[in-house]
A and B are shown apart, each in its own frame.
Chain A
Amino acid sequence: MAREVLSGDYAQSYAAKLARVDVVAAYPITPQTSIVEKLADLVVTGALRAQYIKVESEHSALQACVSASALGARAYTATSSQGLLLMHELLHWASGMRTPVVMGVANRAVAAPWSIDVDHADSMSQRDTGWIQFYAESNQEVLDTVLAAFRLSEDEAVRLPSMVAMDAFYLTHTVEPVDVPEQADVDRFLPPRSKVGTLDPHRPTRLGSFTSPEHYTEFRHAVASASKAAAQLAPTVEEEYARIVGRDLGGPLPRYLTDDADAILVTMGTATTTARSTVDALRAEGRKVGLAKLRRFRPFPSEEVRALGRTGARIGVLDRSFTYGAAGAAATEVMAALYAASPRPLVRSFVAGLGGRDITPALVRSLYRHLLEEEGPEVVWADLKVPPGEATAEALHG
C-alpha cells in the first residue's frame, strides 16, 4: 500500500488502472477532464494496457463502453453535468443490456444558466436509469468505491452499471492523501469479468433485441431484481474489500452519533465532512445531534433509513438538488422509505449548495436548529439569498 497525494479525479484514474480496465472511452468536460487525461497518459506510457477510444461525444463514449462491455470487456468512462445529461439515452441501454460499465461522475450543476460548480442535479436526473449510484465524501472513498463498484456491478447476479459520483472541485480538484492498494490485492479482490450474459462473437445471438408485450415486462423486472441483488450483495463485497485491502467502506448509510440523537441530518458527498465537524461542535455544546451519510443512492437503502427512523430523531435531508414540484431528491426517497414507519418521524427537506454555493458550518447549524426547535415548512431552500416568498432556515431564525 502506497500513500499518495491525489485529486479526486486522479483517484478515479488510478482506480480504473488498478481495475485493469480493458476499454476507456471518454469526452472532456470540466471538472472531469483530468480523469481521462491521466488515463490517456497511463495508456500511452504502457502503465495501463487498455484500448482508449477517442470519441466525439459523451453519447458515443457510453455507446462505445456499452458495446465493448457487451462483448465482455471491462469498460470505464467518466463525465459530468451536460455530458451525463447527453448520455441519458445510453444510461438506459447500459442497464437494459446488463453491461456493467463503471463511470466516474464529477457532480456539477446543469445549465441553464451555466455553472461549472458542484451540485447533484446531473446524477439525480439519472436516478431512474437502473444504474447503481455511489456518492463519495473523500478522495480515498472515490478510489475504494470505484474498485468496489466494479466488483458489485460485475457480479453475475447483478450485471448492472455503476456511477461513482464526487463533488466538483471539492473532490475533483482538491488533493488529499490517498492510500493506493497493491495491484496484487486488487487482483485478488477483483477477478477478470465473468462471461455470463455477454455476446459470444462466435454464437449467433442477438443482444438488445426487439420485444412485444409478451416479454418486455420481464426484462424490466430482471433489472429491478438485479438492483435488489446489488443491495443484498453490497455488504459481502465491502467485507471482501475490507478483508483484502483493509478499509471499511461503511455500507450505504454510515451513521455518526445517531443513537441518542434528537435531530439527524442526512447528507451526501462533501457536505458530510462539514456536517460532521458541526455535529462535534454542537455535541460539545450539549446538543444531541447526529449525522447519516447517504453513500449509496441506488439501490436506495430503505431498510437502513427505516432503522435510522427508529432512533426517534427528527430527520433533515440535505440535498444539493431539487426535483421540481416536490422536494430534494434524497428527501423524497427518505420520506417514502419512512412512510410506513410507526411512529413516523418528522422529515424535512433542506435544499442548499446548488451551483457550488458553500455549505458552511453556520448553515449546517441553522439546519439542526430548524430541526430541533422550530416547526416549519417541509421543504426549505436553506441558503437562498433573496427568498421569493418562501421561508428559508436563515430567514426563520433571523
Chain B
Amino acid sequence: MKDLTFGTLIAVFEEIFGRTLFWAMVAAAALITIAYLWVLIRDRAVSWHKFLLAQISMPVGAVAAILFVLAVTDSGLGDMGGPIDVIVLLAVALAGAVGMAILVYTVQSLITGKQPPRGGPQLKR
C-alpha cells in the first residue's frame, strides 16, 4: 500500500462505516472512556464488586465481537488460514472483551452513583 499515513487510515475507516457513523462511534468510544476514567477518579478506587461483574462480561464481549466480524464479512472460523489470522481474531476478541468490561463497569458505576467510603452510611440500610 502506498503512503499508509494516519490520514489515509482515517479516510479508509470513514469509507467503511460512513463518515457520520464512524465519528459517532469514535465519539461513543471516547465518551465511554472518559466516563470510565471519571468514575474511577470520583470513586478514588476500583470497586472489586463491579469489577467482578465486568470480568464476567468479558467472554460475552469477546464472542460477540468475533460473531459480529465473521457475520459482516461472510466468513467462518474455518477460514483461518495462518498465524496472522488467529492473531487478528484474538485481537478482535480482546477488543470486544475489554470494551465490554469497561462498558459494564462504567454503566454500573453511573447507575449506582458515588460509593460512600467504606463503613459509611451504606451499612445503615
Determine if chain A interacts with chain B.
no
Interface residues of B (CB under 8 A from A): none
